[in-house]
Structures are given as structure tokens and as C-alpha cells.
């Protein structure tokens, strides 16, 4: 995002630096310790085949990880396992080194926040204000602190005007922003975001990109985000996990995986449009597709630099 757009956002809305002022996490992570760990995770719904079939990885504090894969590849199932909403058939999840189980779940819920793919599954109170307040209130915070967090979260997600509205009157994009406000208000230091950009208009998308970057770089949050919007992956994430049919088929730096077109095709994915353009151009010019830009800004910078 350009710095002018960033300063526009800072001028016109609540400064993002106010988002995480409290101590967000109750679980402390010793240095060198993964904040989130999946070890040999398996899960199947009823008698179906494995929706998640032996997935293992470690995520370090402060990482931003994009989880990509075709429809039905197991992203949502994996995210629910990581957040403790589903129990694995085999394998385990560790949060800050502690195994996620019935005993640790309560504390883990204070550390890990899950934004549901379908906002209707997340919102259950009558009004927007009540819904955003629900989580902080359950943390046992004072009324004043709850009020402060709700106002801040609604401001950050540009949903203040919706505070009194009944949930069932909201549009899809408004619901997404309110669900996000609920997560922001919890100040969970590990955010698991399932298709967070779905239904958002371009301005809200840019603001969410800025918010995620800010929480990670200035407040040490860790973010795992599932998305089909490949052009947003390099804007936010530095590492990428690729799923196919319940398996984790790749785990590596975004630049490496997003320029590996055969791998992406195998996973029924595509690189960002700008990357595809330069990839195809190189092939048409009988050149090896090397040094492919991942974003529009990068392409412009490199083109201008070459001239």
C-alpha cells in the first residue's frame, strides 16, 4: 500500500497504533518456541475421507502465513483444528508449547482468535454492539474497558455506524467487518483468519491489509490467513502453506511458491495476475521466467528501474 494511502487512513480514522494497547496474550512464548504447532494432524467428518490428512508445521511468533488451496482442500478444517473448535482424530496442536486439550482450551481461546469463513456462524447476538462486546465481557473486563474496546474495534473496522443495527440486517461485507471487530476487540495475539477479505470492498480490503501488517510488525501478532485472493498474499504474508486434498503439499517463502507456476497449477491455484502477466510474457519471448514481480508496486518499481 502506498504511503499516501496509509497516511490518509491514519488521518481519517482512528490510528491503528491504538489497536493493541493492552497485553494481548496470556500464554508466553519462550524464544525459539513455536507459537502454533500442528503435529501429524488428521481429521475426518463422520465416515468421510480425511479432510486433513497428516499435516505438520510450526509457526513462529510474528510470522504471517497464507494458507492456500482449492475448494475443499481442508483449509477451514485445519483452521478449526488450530483454534480448538474441532478435535483431531490423530495428532495434536500446540499453542505456545502447550498441548491444546480440554484443560488448556480456556487459556488458548484467550490467545488464539478465529475469524470464521462464514460470518453468520460467528455472529449470534441481536445487535452489532452486543456482539462485539460479547468476547471482551467474557474475559471479565470492566464495563469501561469493554466499552473502550468495542468503540476502538468498531472504529478500526469502520463499523461504528452499525453499532445499534440488528445483525440480521447487515450486508455480507458489513457482517465480515463486524465479525472482524469482534476479533480485534479480543486482542488475541494469534489471529487465524479464514477468508478475511471475502466480500470486502477495495477500501476495506486495503485497510485490513494495513491492520494486519500493523498488528504483526508493531505488536508482534502472529497471523495465519486462508485466502483465494492470491494477489493479496504477497501484500500480507511472507510464508505460504499449500493444501491439496487434505495434504500439505508445500510450505515455503511466498516469493518462492507464488512464482512456482507448475506447483500452483497442480494445486489448482494461480499466481497473482501481475505475476502471470510477466510469466507469460517471458514464455512468449522465449525467455526463462525469472525475477517475476508479485505485486503491482514491485512491477512498476522494477520496470522504471530497468528503463
Ligand X SMILES: Nc1ncnc2c1ncn2[C@@H]1O[C@H](COP(=O)(O)OP(=O)(O)OP(=O)(O)O)[C@@H](O)[C@H]1O
Strand partners, 242: 68, 250
Instruction: Determine which residue in the list 31, 71, 164, 306 makes contact with ligand X, applying CB under 6 A.
Output: 71
Q: Give the C-alpha separation, 68 to 250, whole Å.
A: 10
The grid coordinates of residue 36 equal 502454533
Nearer to Mg ion by Cβ, of 173 and 220: the residue is 173
- Position 275 contacts Mg ion (CB under 5 A): no
- What is 149-213 written as a DSSP string? HHHHHHHHTT-GGGTTSBGGG--HHHHHHHHHHHHHHHT-SEEEEESTTTT--HHHHHHHHHHHH
Strand partners, 166: 127
Q: Which does 302 bind (CB under 5 to 8 A by kind): ligand X, Mg ion, none?
A: none
- Position 77 contacts ligand X (CB under 6 A): yes
Site for Mg ion in 189-228 (CB under 5 A): none
Site for Mg ion in 105-164 (CB under 5 A): 117
Tell me, residue by residue from 109 to 128, as one string, x for binding to ligand X by CB under 6 A and - for no binding.
--------x-----------
Nearer to Mg ion by Cβ, of 111 and 117: the residue is 117
- Position 76 contacts Mg ion (CB under 5 A): yes
Residues 6+ apart with CB under 8 A from 63: 222, 223, 238, 239
Nearer to Mg ion by Cβ, of 7 and 120: the residue is 120
Q: Cβ 297 to ligand X, closest distance in Å?
A: 27
Tell me, residue by residue from 11 to 50, as one string, x for binding to ligand X by CB under 6 A and - for no binding.
----------------------------------x--x--
Among 192, 210, 155, smallest CA distance to 177 is for 155
Secondary structure letter of residue 231 according to DSSP: G
- Position 73 contacts ligand X (CB under 6 A): yes
Nearer to ligand X by Cβ, of 165 and 228: the residue is 228
Q: Are strands 222-226 and 190-194 parallel, antiparallel or unpaired?
A: parallel
Q: Cβ 50 to ligand X, closest distance in Å?
A: 9
- What is 57-119 written as a DSSP string? EEE-TT-EEEEEE-TTSSHHHHHHHHTTSS--SEEEEEETTEE-STTTHHHHHHHEEEE-SSH
Q: Cβ 73 to ligand X, closest distance in Å?
A: 4
For Mg ion, the binding residues (CB under 5 A) are 75-76, 117
For ligand X, the binding residues (CB under 6 A) are 45, 48, 51, 69, 71-77, 117
Amino acid at each position: 500500500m502506498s504511503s499516501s494511502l496509509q497516511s490518509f487512513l491514519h488521518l481519517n480514522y482512528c490510528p491503528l497504533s491504538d489497536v493493541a494497547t493492552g497485553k494481548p496474550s496470556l500464554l508466553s512464548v519462550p524464544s525459539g518456541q513455536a507459537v502454533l504447532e500442528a503435529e501429524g494432524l488428521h481429521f475426518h467428518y463422520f465416515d468421510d475421507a480425511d479432510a486433513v490428512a497428516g499435516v505438520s508445521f510450526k509457526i513462529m511468533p510474528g510470522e504471517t502465513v497464507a494458507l492456500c488451496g482449492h475448494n475443499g482442500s481442508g483449509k477451514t478444517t485445519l483452521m478449526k483444528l488450530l483454534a480448538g473448535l474441532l478435535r483431531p482424530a490423530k495428532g495434536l496442536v500446540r499453542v505456545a508449547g502447550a498441548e491444546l486439550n480440554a484443560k488448556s482450551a480456556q487459556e488458548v481461546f484467550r490467545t488464539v482468535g478465529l475469524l470464521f469463513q462464514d460470518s453468520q456462524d460467528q455472529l449470534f447476538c441481536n445487535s452489532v454492539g452486543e456482539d462485539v462486546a460479547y468476547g471482551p465481557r467474557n474475559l471479565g473486563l470492566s464495563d469501561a474497558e469493554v466499552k473502550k474496546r468495542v468503540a476502538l474495534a468498531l472504529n478500526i473496522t469502520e463499523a461504528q455506524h452499525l453499532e445499534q443495527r440488528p445483525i440480521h440486517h447487515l450486508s455480507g461485507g458489513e457482517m465480515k467487518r463486524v465479525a472482524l471487530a469482534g476479533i480485534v476487540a479480543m486482542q488475541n495475539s494469534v489471529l487465524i483468519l479464514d477468508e478475511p477479505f471475502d466480500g470486502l470492498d477495495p477500501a476495506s480490503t486495503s485497510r485490513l491489509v494495513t491492520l494486519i501488517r500493523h498488528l504483526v510488525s508493531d505488536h508482534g501478532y502472529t497471523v495465519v490467513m486462508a485466502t483465494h485472493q492470491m494477489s493479496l498474499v504477497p501484500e500480507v504474508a511472507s510464508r505460504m502453506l499449500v493444501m491439496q486434498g487434505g495434504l500439505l503439499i508445500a510450505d515455503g517463502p511466498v516469493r518462492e511458491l507464488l512464482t512456482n507456476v507448475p506447483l500452483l497449477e497442480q494445486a489448482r491455484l494461480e499466481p497473482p495476475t501481475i505475476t502471470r502477466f510477466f510469466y507469460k510474457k517471458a514464455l512468449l519471448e522465449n525467455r526463462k521466467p525469472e525475477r517475476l514481480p508479485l505485486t503491482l508496486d514491485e512491477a512498476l518499481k522494477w520496470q522504471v528501474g530497468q528503463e
